[in-house]
Amino acid sequence: MRFKLLVRLAKGCSRVVLDLRKVPYIDSDGIKALRWLRDDWQDVRVELINVNSDVMRTLRLSRLEDLVADSVEVEEPVATGTG
Q: Residue 13 belongs to a domain with what CATH number? A: 3.30.750.24
Q: Is residue 28 part of a domain?
A: yes
Q: What percent of the chain has pLDDT over 70?
A: 72
Nearest C-alpha neighbor of 33 from the set 70, 8, 6, 60: 6
Q: Is residue 75 part of a domain?
A: no
Query: What tens digit of pLDDT does each residue of 49-72 get?
Result: 999 999 999 999 999 999 898 765
pTM: 0.72
Q: Is residue 83 part of a domain?
A: no
Domain that holds residue 47: 2-67
Domain count, the chain: 1
β-pairing, 45-49 with 15-19? parallel
Q: Is residue 14 part of a domain?
A: yes
Q: Is residue 79 part of a domain?
A: no
Coil/strand/helix, residue 34: helix
Q: Is residue 34 part of a domain?
A: yes
Cβ partners under 8 Å of residue 23, min gap 6: 51, 52, 55
